[in-house]
Amino acid sequence: MKLKAGFSGIIVISWIIIAILGQVLTLDADQIELARILQGPDLMHWFGYDDLGRSVLDRLLKGAATSCLVACSVVLISVCMGSLIGTLSAYVGGWLDLVIVRVIDIFLAFPGILLAIALAGIMGPGIDNVVIALASVGWVGFARLARAQTLSMKHREHVVAAIALGTGTFRIISRHLIPLISAPLIIEATFGVASVVIAEAGLSFLGLGVQAPESSWGSMIRDGARYMLVAPHLVMIPGTALVLVVLSVNILGDRLRDWLDVRTANREGGN
């Protein structure tokens, strides 16, 4: 398990570094070389070229930057919005809690990716609209988790003492409740990153995500699917990168969950 987590950590760190370098370095992702159209990988060009003669390596690096930017932005917005809504709903209770729970139930009644596709189709393609569409459906899971955790925490002695001292609602939520429920929210955010990476690739594959000349792993797979028989590297390379990143993030999420679980940590320490 430790070996898997270590290898997964290397992949995730490499993904983040590549995403940063993809924004900093000057890459020729849009440089067209007609003589190299559909050229496969070789010793000089490890990842080959696509149907327009563009370097697959450069476009893969740009796609890593796109997926990392979208994943971090969506998860950050979803965690902040969902945690605040869920905690406030459970703490205040009454009609506010009833309304928020009904809204959450409505969102959960539909598959999240279908709602994201509908929103992206209405707003139009583009990286900003992809972030808005995915964050609009991503906050629900965090709100539900935060509400459940807050219901079990709001009657703790320190919270009751803060109420007795006249502490304001938002101060109690920010200082006494959210820090206590942060562990499960962090774990959920880790798995959320993997889900957003897949969702962004799916929207780009459908033409609702990042548009040309910007690069995305999903759009690379879509464009390369037409040449699967003559140039399989156009699908296999971005597809492999997508699988490795998602799998590594999920493994790290499992490891983080075990590490934050007191019972599991005590059991491992006893062994």
* Contact in structure between 183 and 264 (CB atoms under 8 Å): no
Q: Name the β-bridge partners of 55.
A: 49
Task: Compute the mean pLDDT over every residue in the chain, rounded to the nearest whole number.
Answer: 84
* Contact in structure between 204 and 198 (CB atoms under 8 Å): no
Going by the DSSP 8-state scheme, the letter that residue 155 receives in this structure is T
Distance (Å, whole) CA 252 – CA 257: 8
In this prediction the pTM is 0.85
The CA-atom distances, in angstroms, between 94 and each of 80, 86, 152, 157 are 23, 13, 16, 22
Give residue 265's pLDDT: 44
Q: pLDDT tens digits, residue range 140-198?
A: 999 999 998 888 887 778 788 877 877 777 888 888 788 888 888 888 899 899 999 99
Distance (Å, whole) CA 122 – CA 131: 14
What are the structural domains, with CATH classification, of the chain?
63-270 (1.10.3720.10)
Residue 50's nearest CA partner among 62, 34, 63, 64 is: 34
Q: pLDDT tens digits, residue range 95-147?
A: 988 999 999 998 888 888 888 888 888 888 888 889 999 999 999 999 999 99
